[in-house]
Amino acid sequence: MVAPIQENLVSKNKAYASSFTEGHLALPPAKKYAVLTCMDARIDPAAAYGINLGDAHVIRNAGASAKDALRSLVISEQLLGTEEILLIKHTGCGMLTFKNEDAVGILRKNLGEEATGQLEAFKGDFQPFPDLDQGVKDDVEYLKGSKLIREKIKISGWVYEVETGKVRSVV
C-alpha cells in the first residue's frame, strides 16, 4: 500500500510531467544566482521570489543558515558559475523560538542519551537565532568573511513576511 503522502507525489507529478516542456534546460543556473532561504512550509520560493525554472539554485534548510549552506554555496559558485547570493530569512521562523539547550533537552527526553551523542554530526548546534534582522546580518557577514566565497560575489540579505507575502531588504 502506498501512503497518502506518496500517492500525492505520484499523482500530482503525473499531471505535472504530462505538460512538462522544460527538458532542454542546462545544468548551470541561467541567471547565475543562488537563493538561500528557510525550509518553512509557508514559503514557495519560485512564486514568492520570482524564480523561473532553470534560473537559480535554491538552497533551503532550517532557518536559512549560511553555515549549513556553505558546501552548497561553494559548489554553486565554484563549479556552476553563480555570481550572486540572495539570503532570505522570514518572520515567524521556528529558529527564533528556542535555544540550543531546549532542543537538546527535547531530544534527550524523546530519544535518549545514545541519540544525543550523535548530535556531533552537526556539532550539537541547531543554529537558532534570537533576532531576525540581526540573524540576516550575521549570516551575510559570515559569507562575506568566508575565504571560500570570492569577494566579487554579490551577497544581499532579506526578510520574507509569511503574514503578507512581502520581502523587505535588510542588508
> Which segments within the chain are labelled E, that is strand?
33-38, 56-61, 84-90, 154-160, 167-169
CA 132, 138, 139 angle in degrees (round to 5)? 95
Per rule CB under 8 A, is residue 139 in the interface with a second copy?
A: no
Measured CA distances, 101 to 64, 98, 124 (Å): 20, 8, 9
CB-based contact 170:88 (threshold 8 Å): no
Structural contact between residues 104 and 116, judged by C-beta atoms closer than 8 angstroms: yes
Does the footprint of a second copy cover residue 8 (CB under 8 A)?
yes
Looking at 87, 100, 126, 152, which residue binds a second copy (CB under 8 A)? 126
Within 10 Å of residue 82's Cβ, how many Cβ atoms? Answer: 21
With CB under 8 A as the contact rule, the residue among 68, 89, 135, 153 that binds a second copy is 68
Radius of gyration of the chain (CA): 18
Say if residue 90 carries a ligand binding annotation.
yes
70-99 binders of a second copy (CB under 8 A)? 70-72, 74-76, 78-80, 84, 86, 92, 94-95, 98
Site size for a second copy (CB under 8 A) = 93
Exactly one of 34, 153, 159, 170 binds a second copy (CB under 8 A); that residue is 34
In three-state secondary structure terms, 51 is: coil
Q: Which is nearer to a second copy, 57 or 89 (CB)?
A: 57
- Cβ pair 53, 22 in contact under 8 A: yes
Q: Is 132 in the site for a second copy (CB under 8 A)?
A: no
Is 129 a residue that touches a second copy (CB under 8 A)?
no
Annotated binding residue at 57?
no
- Residues 99-118 binding a second copy (CB under 8 A) are 103, 106-107, 110-111, 114-115, 117-118
Nearer Cβ to a second copy (141/156): 156
Task: For residue 156, state whether it binds a second copy (rule: CB under 8 A).
Answer: yes
Tell me whether residue 93 is annotated as binding: yes
